[in-house]
Amino acid sequence: MKPNARSRFLLLAAACLLNAGQPAPISTCEPDSPVTAEAANLDAAQSQLKDLLVRHQIRYTVAQIEAVRAAIDRCNTASADALNAVEVEKSSLSLRLSELLRYGDVVKLRERIETLRKNRESALQELDRNLGSIRQAGLFVVLLEKVNIYAAPASLRAQAQAALAPRAVADLNGVFVERSTEVADLQAVKDIVRTYAGGEAAADQVLFDRTNYEAGKDYYLYFAKVSVRPLKSSPAGQAAPPVNASVFNLDVDKNYQTALSARGVIASHLAEIGNRAATYLDLARRENDDAARRRDIILSTGQDQLLRTDRDIEDAERDLRTRAGKIETICRELSLPFSPTNPDQSATAAAQKLREQIAALETRWNQTKEQEIQYAETRITIQDDPAKDFAAEAVKLGRKLEQDYGKVQKTEEITRVEDFQMTELRHNREVELYRRLRRLWVYPVGESDGTFRIVVFGAFQIAGRNEPDVDNGGGNQPSVPEHMVRVAGGTFEMGDTFGEGYSAEEPVHKVTLSDFLIGKTEVTFDEYDAYCTAAGKNKPADEGWGRGKRPVIHVSWLDAVEYCNWRSKQENLTPCYTIMSSDVGCNWSADGYRLPTEAEWEYAARSGGKGKKDKWSGTSKESELYRFANFCDKNCKTRGKTTKQNDRFQYTAPVASYQPNGFGLYDMSGNVWEWCWDWYDSYASGVQTNPRGPDSGSSLVYRGGSQRCIPVATRCAYRASGSPDDRASDRGFRLARTVKF
């Protein structure tokens, strides 16, 4: 009989002796002993094997058994080669499916880009409104010559104000536009500033107005402190300035008294103006200094927001092009059409085909695995009934085979592939593949010493997969890793304990925390790049600032929790997170890596908040901040920077480049913002124990400030938030772990 031409397995040449007869050749990879039974019920199989042994009265030689074993080994080797080929092919398809999970959902990405553009427009409008609220102040004198001696005082004042307005707007608003344009870096902001071509002047305080009806003089003198609010155009309905008016800006026209005297203004009037000018000119200058600082803050804050939004738009548009290109490549490899106008539909079709191909490979793998034959043997001495003793020993060996070979593999599989999201959604779980004994073949071998050797060969059937239970607690707490610090729990006051922060930092409330572990430093590019390489992910951009020991940036909250689970598995820890699409749950009793809660982060940043209350991590003196933090100092390009300190880095710094805080933690203030676990919400009042934030929300907390932040934003109490899939060049994370008792 010829073997099946499609079979990957070798012929098994085995012989059995029927009394003194010659062994019959067999033509499959299964042994051909006539003493064989189905092994689903080993108790029933034992009786059947006994009957067959009595019927066939067989025994084998050592040489014959060795020939059978050699043939089985060759078959198993061929099976292993076939399994490896299937696994390689399945791995390739799984990587393709993982890419689709990462690069799918183009519709949501387009929606995000549109939202970012609307946010940019809103930011420009807010910047416009804020700039329009800034007033510039000045002192002005108006001289009306040859006035009508019968004119009412109110009429003269109105004429003076009409004469003053154009000059005040030109001088004060011109300075505003010129200096704002100098401060502004972005062209879009410069364009907004330049739209303020006009202004509205108002007399804040009339300091002096006098008339002189002495023959030959007949003048009206008006002296006022004036403020100008910038406008897009001059206000409608303004009266035309009188032709007999002279206007003097006391901050510009230094020789105004000489000019007024030459026009006939009497000395007593000049003296009165001079006496008041000294006081009010200084007041106007102080107001203008305050306005300039407010203007710079508005421009700095607005430009920073616009820059971040522009970077986010650029990143999203680049991501959109990358996603569409990847989906098109996969579709082409699968011989599927690609729709440039509907990449999501193309990705769905490609994913479905990949699932079908993976399922077919899993079936093929199972079928191939079932071709394997395992064997075991034992030596016995016949006590009473040879057939009964042979059958009993054969069943014992069958049970041993099932125990030794029933669990054949731990495998990782993609557990959720239905939903395409904007982030990596490849969620793996460990499963164990089980098989049960399907059939037994028994070979008795007679020995020269009067004993027998029983050799049993067993074939298996795939029984299914079983997910091992997770051990969530107990055991000894492992020693603290070198890269982490054990923080002793305690009670501290959380929030704006210095009374100079923002409403989001209130109310100050007491929080009690249990012990926990937290990373000495932020996660670095070296650490995160290793994860990307292992998981087949694209490495995040470094903005050209360098990688290595610098903190990783351009990672979302979802990226961070994925990394936590991956690193937990690498170190044989129980992962904390259960991730289904963008829905993430946390097993707080697991010993794996996780993000710190917001309360844990602030407690660690404040070195426990006991004794001195650190305003920044490591210090409460702003003048010392450069020793502990990388922030917007003199090296920073952002407006509003602190020019009197030098932290040595213009961009991100390698971790641990500065002094640690009291807990031995580095860069808790500055360098990069750090994601926390909590959804963002207002603080609750009252004492809390191990708070973990609300159950849901729209944005997640990040803390600590970054190298682009002014000192106020790097305080321990300062709070900020972003959506789970936000990535930015100033955002990273730090690891934490639960301490088991």
Residue 24, both tokens: 């019959």
pLDDT at residue 461, as a whole number: 82
Task: Give the chain's radius of gyration (CA, Å).
Answer: 41
| 22-51 per-position pLDDT tens digit | 333 333 578 888 989 888 788 888 888 889
pLDDT at residue 678, as a whole number: 96
Distance CA 115, CA 109 (A): 10
Longest CA–CA separation in the chain, Å? 158
pLDDT at residue 108, as a whole number: 74
pLDDT at residue 184, as a whole number: 62
Distance CA 727, CA 312 (A): 8
List, as one string, the DSSP characters of 668-736: SSBSSEEEEEEEP-PPPPS-EES----S--S-EEEES--TTS-GGGGSTT-EEEE-TT---TTEEE--E
Residue 538, both tokens: 């694209």
Q: Please return the burial class of 656, using the count of CB atoms within 10 Å of its CB with bins 0-12, 13-18 and 19+.
A: middle
pLDDT at residue 255, as a whole number: 92
- Looking up tokens 């990405």, which residue turns up? 109
pLDDT at residue 426, as a whole number: 39
Q: Which of 12, 4, 5 has the alpha carbon at shortest distance from 29?
A: 12
Residue 475, both tokens: 């055991």
Report helix angle 557-570 to 525-535, nearest 10. 80
Distance CA 89, CA 308 (A): 42
Cα 186 to Cα 307, 520, 616, 689, 691: the distances in Å are 8, 37, 31, 46, 42
User: Model pTM?
Assistant: 0.42
Q: Which of 603, 432, 592, 428 has the alpha carbon at shortest distance from 513?
A: 603
Distance CA 303, CA 305 (A): 5
pLDDT at residue 472, as a whole number: 33
In which residue ranges of the chain is pLDDT below 70? 1-28, 102-105, 181-186, 188, 196-197, 215, 232-240, 408-433, 463-478, 609-613, 637-643, 741
| 87-111 per-position pLDDT tens digit | 888 878 877 787 777 666 677 778 8
- DSSP bridge partners of 219: 145, 212
Distance CA 562, CA 566 (A): 6
**Which is it for strands 452-466 and 373-380: parallel, antiparallel or unpaired?**
antiparallel
pLDDT at residue 102, as a whole number: 67
- Looking up tokens 């069958």, which residue turns up? 398
Report helix angle 62-103 to 343-369, nearest 10. 170
pLDDT at residue 522, as a whole number: 98
Encode burial over 123-138: b for 16+ CB neighbours within 10 A, e otherwise. Answer: bbeebbebbbebbbbb
Q: Where are the beta strands (DSSP E) in 529-606?
A: 577-580, 583-586, 593-594
Cβ atoms of 582 and 562 closer than 8 Å = no
Cβ atoms of 673 and 658 closer than 8 Å = no
- Looking up tokens 């009188």, which residue turns up? 242
DSSP 623: G
Cβ atoms of 702 and 560 closer than 8 Å = no
- Is the bond leading into 507 cis (omega within 30 degrees of zero)? yes
Encode burial over 270-286: b for 16+ CB neighbours within 10 A, e otherwise. Answer: beebeeebeebbeebee
Q: Which amino acid is at 354?
A: L
